[in-house]
A and B are shown apart, each in its own frame.
Chain A
Amino acid sequence: MKPGTIAVVGAAESTDLGRLPGISQIQLHADAALNAMADCRLKPGDIDGVATAGQTPTEIAHYLGITPKWVDGTAVGGCSFMIHVRHACAALNDGLCDTVLITHGESGRSMVGRPPRSVDPASLAGQFEMPYGPMGPPTLFTIPVLRFMKTYGVTEEQIAMVAVVQREWAAKSPRATFRDPITVDDVLNSRMIAYPFRLLMCCLVTDGGGALILTRSDRAKDFPTKPVYVLGTGESAETPMISQMADFTTSRAFTVAGPRAFEEAGISHDDVDHLMIYDAFAHLPLYGLEDLGFVGRGEAAAFIAERNSAPGGKLPINTNGGGLSYMHSGMYGMYALQESVRQMRGVAPAQIEGAQISVCHGVGGMFGASGTIIFTNQVP
């Protein structure tokens, strides 16, 4: 895309985040969507493009009373919303529609109106992975890390530091689920889930939603909100089976999506003031930092352990507390996007003073797919 041609003009999370047994999944989408419309003073009738994952765009358009001219149901897991942003930029620039709504809602904790997930025993994962006893992401997403640790000499203490530092950010965010400080010992003494991953290295599981509204930048002045411009975008997919990931020390989806976004944006790593790296588990920021080129191979663990991503550090990462402490409904990418938008608007609880460029990097499935969006608050 041409940098800066598309702007986020509306953004909001659901009214509540956390354990929400009184609201169904589709209503979480709608609640967030209505909040985002209120943010930029639009009504459902003003929206003509709909993108979503978890529900179909048909369900969301109908539920909200929208007649779309463009829909996108890309559903590749938690980074689907980054990819929706990318596709929306193309659609808006091509004139396929004028105002796009991207919604997320997930009753990940309370499971109200959320279909149960199952793996077909005739699928490749059903035939060649499920017989060996994996039980969801904590036992699959985590499998590569021992290879990563051996290759680069990374310690469990260093991985624990990812959780410790993000809890420091969460402490600044009133809406974060977990805000009490933790130490490396707390992490390493928490319950073993799937060695080497302990409870505090795994994301929480909560209910919530989020929505974004995008339009062409030349219309951004018509809205009451501070526009957040899209500078660059990238996406890719690798494999639905963690066992078939080409290299357990790097994500091919990350190394395609990330560099493409930087190339489109025409920026270098030194230009980045704020970074979100989808953290379903504590090893993901390590892969993200290396695969996006912020640090060299094998340097990410020390980079975080030395507090470079912590409050006061030179590269603030996951400033809402991340999936480890803020919230994680299952497809967390929308909340990473919301934090990037807040930082660019200058209204984040843990605001990075003077931040002008935010990189928001998502993962989908278990290293299965990826989407990267680069935002700026500077008028193009």
Chain B
Amino acid sequence: MAGQRPLPKPTPETRHFWEGTKAGQLWIQRCEECAHRYFPPRPFCPACGSRSVTVVGASGRATLYSYVIHHRPRPGFEPPYAIAVVELEEGPRMMTNIVECEQTPEALELDMRLEVTFEAQNDEVTLPFFRPARG
């Protein structure tokens, strides 16, 4: 597990997302014109091109859409570990790791219910992860 996982470098258009994770919030965006909800962040709607968009909180509830379990050494990670894509209750999908769960095909069932959890990596960056839903 030597080394560190790569960390994001926020841009002006994504800074709100990373401020949100530090505060324990998962922000997505919603178009005021066509109601499309989307991720990753950008200051316009990728469905209709409108610049009239707002930042809205996601519930943090998601399901497991797909994944692989990586078996090779990688600095900052302890193999085997799953690299997953989850589908948020609101529709958008995001890449993440599944935590508090065995990293096996048996434990990682597609469509299983998940919930977001946040882990500070340093003073600047908090990453969103997902774990099996408790509720």
Q: Is the CB of B83 within 8 A of A127?
A: no
> Which listed residue (B18, B83, B94) contacts A133, Cβ 8 A?
B83
When the two chains form their complex, are residues A133 and B5 in contact, meaning their CB atoms are under 8 A apart? yes
A144 to B68 alpha-carbon distance, docked (Å): 8
Q: Mark B1-32, 1 if CB is under 8 A from A, else 0.
A: 00001111111001000100000000000000
Instruction: State the total of A-B contacts with C-beta under 8 angstroms.
Output: 110
Report Cα–Cα, A121/B127, bound state, in Å: 14
Number of chain A residues close to chain B: CB under 8 A: 36
Knowing A150-B110, A192-B71, A194-B68, say if A127 contacts B8 (CB, 8 Å): yes
CB neighbours (8 Å) of A139 from chain B are 68, 70, 83
Asked if B83 and A126 sit within 8 Å, CB to CB, the answer is no
Among residues 132 to 166 in chain A, which have CB atoms less than 8 Å away from a CB atom of chain B?
132-135, 139-140, 142-147, 150
Question: How many angstroms between the C-alpha atoms of A131 and B9 in the bound complex?
Answer: 10
Q: Inside 8 A of A192's CB, which chain B residues have their CB?
A: 71, 80
**Across the interface, do A197 and B68 meet the contact criterion of CB distance under 8 Å?**
yes
Please report the C-alpha to C-alpha distance between residue A98 and residue B44 in the assembled complex, in whole angstroms.
43
Establish whether residues A133 and B72, one from each chain, have CB atoms under 8 Å apart when the complex forms.
no
A121 to B8, CA, bound (A): 5
Inter-subunit contact A193/B127 (CB<8 Å): no
CB neighbours of B69 from chain A (8 A): 194-195
For residue B70, which residues in chain A have a CB less than 8 angstroms away from its CB?
133-135, 139, 193-194
Query: In angstroms, how far is the closest chain A Cβ from the Cβ of B68?
Result: 4
Does B40 reach chain A (CB closer than 8 Å)? yes
Cα separation A146 to B108 with both chains bound (whole Å)? 11
**How far, in whole Å, are A131 and B70 apart by their CA atoms in the complex?**
14
Contact residues, A262-281 vs B (CB, 8 A): none
> Which residue on chain B has the smallest CB distance to residue A140?
B83
Binary CB contact string for chain A from 83 to 124 against chain B (1 if under 8 A, 0 otherwise): 000000000000000000000000000000000000111101
Does any Cβ of A come within 8 Å of B105's Cβ?
yes
Give the interface size class of chain B.
35 or more
B72 touches A135 (CB 8 A): yes
Q: How far is the CB of A195 from chain B (nearest CB, A)?
A: 4
**Nearest A residue (CB) for B127:** A131
Please state if B110 and A146 are interface contacts (CB–CB under 8 Å).
yes
Query: A133, B76: Cβ atoms under 8 Å?
Result: yes
Of residues 84 through 125 on chain B, the ones whose CB sits less than 8 Å from some CB of chain A are 84-85, 93-97, 105, 110, 121
CA distance A133 to B70 in the complex (A): 9
A54 to B98, CA, bound (A): 35
Which residues of A have CB within 8 Å of B95?
128-129, 132, 134, 241-243
* Chain A residues within an 8 Å CB radius of B66: 143-147, 248
A233 vs B6: C-alpha distance in the bound complex, in angstroms?
39
Which B residues touch A124, using CB under 8 A?
Answer: 14, 40
* Chain B residues near A189 (CB-CB < 8 A): none
Known: A121-B9, A126-B6. A147 touches B65 (CB 8 A): yes
Instruction: Convert B23-48 into 0s and 1s, putting 1 for each residue whose CB lies closer than 8 angstroms to a CB of A.
Output: 00000000000000001100000000
Interface residues of A in 176-199 (CB under 8 A from B): 191-197
Question: B74 near A: Cβ within 8 Å?
Answer: yes
Cα-based distance from A261 to B65 in the complex (angstroms): 31
Minimal Cβ-Cβ distance residue in A for B80: A195
Chain A residues contacting B80 (CB-CB under 8 Å) are: 192, 195
A143 touches B68 (CB 8 A): yes
A192 to B9, CA, bound (A): 32
Contact A195 B68, beta carbon cutoff 8 Å: yes
State in angstroms the CA–CA spacing of A9 and B67 once bound together: 44
User: Does A130 belong to the interface (CB within 8 Å)?
Assistant: yes
| Chain B residues in 8 Å Cβ range of A122 | 8-11
Chain A residues within 8 Å of B10, by CB? 122, 127
- B68→A128 contact, CB < 8 A: no
Chain B: CB-nearest residue to A195: B69
A-B CB contact pairs (8 Å), 7 listed: A124-B14, A128-B8, A133-B83, A143-B83, A143-B85, A144-B66, A194-B72
Q: Beyond A121-B7, A133-B77, list 18 extra A-B contacts (CB 8 Å).
A: A127-B8, A127-B10, A127-B11, A130-B6, A131-B5, A131-B121, A132-B97, A133-B5, A133-B70, A134-B83, A145-B68, A147-B110, A191-B71, A192-B71, A193-B72, A195-B68, A241-B40, A248-B85
Residues of B in contact with A (beta carbons under 8 Å apart): 5-11, 14, 18, 39-40, 65-72, 74, 76-77, 80-81, 83-85, 93-97, 105, 110, 121, 127
Q: Which residues of A contact B (CB under 8 A)?
A: 119-122, 124, 126-135, 139-140, 142-147, 150, 191-197, 241-244, 248
9 shortest interchain CB distances as A-B pairs: A127-B8, A195-B69, A194-B68, A243-B95, A147-B66, A122-B9, A121-B9, A130-B6, A133-B77
